[in-house]
Structures are given as C-alpha cells and as structure tokens.
C-alpha cells in the first residue's frame, strides 16, 4: 500500500460495450470494505479469504437491485496491483456497468486514471519498468502473437538479457578501471585486445537484440501491406474475399479525397493491415493527384507491397517500374489474380491466386509473413525488443561501444575508453531502470587482490 490514506480506484476492466459479462476492477487498501457497502452476499467480503469468488447482489442507494454479480477477492499483496482488490463480474451491459461504477464512487471510490492499476503494480514492486511497459502492450494487443510477445517481456525476458549484458559491460569496465586506479599494484593487467573482444561480444548481442525489433514491432503492431494494381485487377475482390472468409474488419481512413480502405485481418496470430491504394499513375487532375500522393505515402510506409495483376491482361511492367521507384523491389510480392479464369496460362510471379475461389490466398499470406519477418525466426521464449524507447537505448549503447572500440584502436588510455563504456552501461541501465553506482569498484574488489 502506497500511503495510509491511498484512494480506492475503480474502472471497467473489460472492453466497453455489450458482451456476456463485464468486469469492474476496484483497487486500494479500503477496496474490500468499500465494496462491502454495496454488495449483499452470504458473508461480508472483509471476512472472505483471498482468491475466493462470491455470489451476491449489488443495489443502488434506494436498495433497488442493479445486478446479480460474482465478486472475486484478492488481498494484498497477492493481487495484480499488490493492494487489496476486488473484481466484480456483472452482466455485460453498458448501463449496469455505469450504475455499479457510479455506486462505487458514491461510497468513496474514484475513477482510475488511464494506466493507474499498472502504475500501482509498479509502485508496489510487483513489476519492473520494462514489465510495466509490457502491460500497456498487452492491453493494446490485437493478436495472439502480440500478446505472447508482450507476455514475454512481462516475464522479464528482456530485462534479464539486458541485465546480463550490463553486467558483462561492468566486467569489461572493471578491467580498465583496475589499471587506472591500481597502477601501483602487482597485478596482471588485461590486454586491451581482450577488452576489445569482450566489447565485440557484447555489441553482437546488442545487435541481435536490435534486430529483433522488426519482429517485435510486427508482432506488436502487425504487418502493413499496400495493395497496388491497375483498375479491375481484382483488389476489391481480394478485400471482399478476406472480409467474408477471414473475418477482416474494414475501416476507412478519412480526410483524403479518395479514402483509402484499410482492412485488418488476423492470420495465424499475426495482424495484417491491408491498404487499398488509389493508384499511382500521373495525372493533371488536382483531386486525383491528392489521391496519388496519399497512395505513394502508403506504399512508402508499408512493410510489404502486393502488386496485383490480372492473368488476362498480363504483367504490367510499366506500373511495376513506377512502383520500384517508391519502394525496394524485395518488398514487392508479384501476384497474379483470376487464375480460375485461365489456370494454364502463366508468367513470372511469386504467387498465383484467385480472389474468387480463394485458391492461393493462404500461400499469399505465408509469403507476406516471410517477406515481412525475413528468414529470422524468434522463439517466443527469446528476448524481443518491441518498444521504441528500448530500441533507442540499445542503439545508443551500441554507438558508445563503437566509440570505445575506436579509442582502443587509437591506443588511447583507459579513462577515455571508460567514458564510453560508462555511457553504454548507463544506456542499458535505462531499459531496466538501473542507475550507475559502485558496481564497477565492487566488482574490482571482489575479483582482484588489491592493496599494498
């Protein structure tokens, strides 16, 4: 519990709207007593054991029934926030939820600010900084893979890895500091080449982490796919097929002359966001030009481009050349549509599909996935970077290590190397919320015989 008179906070924990049930979460030292004021069950919740579920009724101030509910009791410190908490499962209705929350506020709770439950969990030492950020990611997860990625981080995989790297760095720094502060001692000082090797190893591991970011971002945010092709090659049919067979969710991006259609489709736990572009041919029409600009922008921001062609009209080389001026060729998947019409006719392409029959669609998504993720595959048990702040810190650490290596190569004295090693260490420390301290000296005292 953070302070003696900590507020009790309340919020809806499930998605707003109509569903089978809704869960309302209450947290704070007095949360159990508070819910007791509006809940009528077999026993008083204050007497209930932690991790038990109780059936009862919640009534309004006039004693009129609001809903029959199930109440779960979690006692400090064994709850998500580390405080006493209650989860109320009511029938899924916006009105019921509204009434229950209003009732809780009446008896002394207040509405939680965004992220306040997680903040309390963090403040109560239930999770570390990287884990707290992962919680935000879990809440925003839209696919299973994304959820698993965030879960990994919540379990501290990234923290563990970064902590390990930071300790390696402290070992390297110790070797350098040893020679600076204990030059008079009869010690065997390490050759700088050995430090260089250590730095290289650490840097390689940082590189590996950095390279997971693409994957991390994709499992978190999904793969952005632009759909390009001449009119009538079947872009709309492809989208319609996905909508019908793969339960894609369609939305329109407003504010453009010709709105871009966006579809989100979840295949094998990965979120694909498909953008139907308006075309990229040159035009004098101002309004149309606006649409073209918008399309080019979409192509540039995409991870992969599906270049759709009609098997009847053949491969449009001109449009393909144009497309290559906006994005890397290797990001483009050449697709032939309408193979149901002329299955024996063929020309150079990556995937053949029929948006009408669905033939080849699964293969298309397999290729999409491979293009976006590359051949790299990460186990869900690897430490994965999906947060831009972490990526940034890792990149800075790498930069400092590069500087340190340069200093070693220029045969500069240890204190110059040490500046960058310290900076690198502190950059890694930022990820896991560690601050530079006496770690280096303590390490030296532990490992070397110091003292005249």
Residues near another protein (CB under 8 A): 1-4, 82, 119, 122-125, 128-129, 177, 180-186, 400, 403, 407, 410-416, 418-420, 422-423, 426, 429, 432-438, 440-441, 444-445, 449-452
User: Which CB, 1 or 70, lies closer to another protein?
Assistant: 1
Tell me if 15 sits within 8 A of 93, measured CB to CB: no
User: Which CB, 1 or 190, lies closer to another protein?
Assistant: 1
Helical axes 157-181 vs 144-154, angle rounded to 10°: 40
Dist CA 39 CA 56 (whole Å): 7
The HSE-up count of residue 378 (CA atoms within 13 Å, CB side) is: 26
Which helix (H) or strand (E) element contains residue 418? helix 414-432
**Least distance (Å) from another protein to the CB of residue 434?**
4
User: Which CB, 317 or 410, lies closer to another protein?
Assistant: 410
Q: Which residue is listed with tokens 């839209």?
A: 142
**Least distance (Å) from another protein to the CB of residue 180?**
5
What DSSP character marks residue 49?
Answer: P
Tell me if 226 sits within 8 A of 306, measured CB to CB: yes
Dist CA 291 CA 254 (whole Å): 12
User: Which CB, 122 or 215, lies closer to another protein?
Assistant: 122
Q: Which residue is listed with tokens 């908490």?
A: 85
Dist CA 69 CA 39 (whole Å): 9
User: Which CB, 337 or 423, lies closer to another protein?
Assistant: 423
3-state secondary structure of 369: helix
**Least distance (Å) from another protein to the CB of residue 377?**
33
**Least distance (Å) from another protein to the CB of residue 259?**
40
**Least distance (Å) from another protein to the CB of residue 368?**
40
Six-digit token string for 86: 């209650």
User: Which CB, 128 or 303, lies closer to another protein?
Assistant: 128
3-state secondary structure of 317: helix
Dist CA 148 CA 129 (whole Å): 18
User: Which CB, 134 or 239, lies closer to another protein?
Assistant: 134
**Least distance (Å) from another protein to the CB of residue 118?**
11
User: Which CB, 15 or 449, lies closer to another protein?
Assistant: 449
Q: Which residue is listed with tokens 């570390």?
A: 128
Dist CA 250 CA 256 (whole Å): 17
User: Which CB, 99 or 161, lies closer to another protein?
Assistant: 161
As to burial, measured by CB atoms within 10 angstroms (0-12 exposed, 13-18 middle, 19+ buried), residue 159 is buried
**Least distance (Å) from another protein to the CB of residue 427?**
9
Six-digit token string for 438: 């006496």
Dist CA 198 CA 172 (whole Å): 7
User: Which CB, 26 or 393, lies closer to another protein?
Assistant: 393
Spatial CA neighbour of 29 closest among 11, 2, 54: 2
Q: Are strands 304-310 and 332-337 parallel, antiparallel or unpaired?
A: parallel
**Least distance (Å) from another protein to the CB of residue 1?**
6
User: Which CB, 107 or 419, lies closer to another protein?
Assistant: 419
**Least distance (Å) from another protein to the CB of residue 418?**
7
Tell me if 371 sits within 8 A of 382, measured CB to CB: no
**Least distance (Å) from another protein to the CB of residue 393?**
11
Residue 336 dihedral angles phi and psi, to the nearest 5°: -110, 130
Q: Which residue is listed with tokens 């229950």?
A: 100
> E strands, 171-259, where?
223-229, 249-253
Q: Which residue is listed with tokens 């070797």?
A: 175
**Least distance (Å) from another protein to the CB of residue 383?**
19
3-state secondary structure of 274: strand
């Amino acid at each position: 519990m953070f302070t003696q008179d900590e507020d009790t906070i309340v919020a809806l924990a499930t998605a707003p709207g109509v569903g089978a049930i809704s869960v309302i979460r209450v947290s704070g030292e007095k949360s159990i007593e508070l819910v007791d004021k509006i809940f009528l069950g077999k026993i008083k919740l204050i007497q209930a054991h932690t991790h038990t579920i109780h059936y009862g009724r919640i009534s309004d101030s006039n004693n009129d029934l609001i809903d029959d509910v199930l109440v779960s009791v979690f006692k400090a410190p064994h709850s998500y926030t580390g405080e006493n908490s209650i989860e109320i499962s009511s029938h899924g209705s916006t009105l019921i939820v509204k009434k229950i929350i209003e009732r809780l506020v009446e008896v002394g709770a207040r509405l939680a600010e965004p992220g306040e439950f997680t903040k309390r969990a963090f403040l109560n030492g239930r999770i570390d900084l990287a884990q707290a950020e992962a919680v935000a990611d879990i809440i925003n997860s839209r696919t299973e893979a994304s959820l698993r990625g965030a879960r990994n981080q919540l379990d501290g995989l990234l923290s563990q890895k970064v902590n390990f790297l930071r300790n390696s760095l402290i070992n390297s720094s110790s070797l350098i500091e040893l020679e600076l502060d204990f030059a008079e001692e009869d010690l065997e000082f390490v050759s700088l080449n050995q430090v260089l090797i250590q730095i290289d190893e650490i840097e390689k591991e940082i590189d590996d982490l950095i390279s997971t970011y693409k994957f991390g971002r994709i499992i978190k945010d999904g793969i952005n796919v632009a759909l390009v092709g001449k009119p009538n090659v079947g872009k709309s049919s492809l989208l319609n097929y996905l909508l019908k067979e793969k339960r894609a969710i369609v939305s329109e991006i407003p504010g453009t002359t010709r709105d871009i259609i966006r579809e989100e489709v979840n295949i094998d736990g990965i979120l694909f966001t498909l953008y139907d572009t308006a075309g990229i041919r040159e035009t004098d029409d101002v309004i149309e030009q606006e649409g073209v600009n918008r399309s080019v922008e979409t192509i540039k921001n995409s991870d992969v481009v599906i270049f759709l062609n009609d098997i009847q009209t053949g491969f449009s080389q001109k449009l393909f050349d144009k497309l290559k001026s906006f994005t890397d060729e290797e990001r483009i998947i050449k697709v032939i549509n309408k193979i149901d019409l002329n299955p024996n006719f063929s020309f150079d392409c990556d995937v053949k599909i029929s948006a009408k029959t669905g033939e080849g669609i699964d293969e298309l998504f397999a290729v999409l996935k491979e293009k976006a993720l590359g051949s790299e595959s990460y186990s869900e048990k690897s430490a994965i970077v999906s947060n831009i702040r972490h990526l940034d810190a890792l990149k800075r650490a790498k930069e400092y290590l590069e500087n340190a290596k340069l200093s070693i190569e220029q045969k500069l004295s240890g204190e110059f190397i040490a500046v960058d090693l310290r900076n690198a260490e502190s950059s890694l420390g930022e990820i896991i919320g560690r601050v530079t301290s006496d770690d280096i000296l303590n390490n030296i005292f532990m490992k070397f015989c110091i003292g005249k």
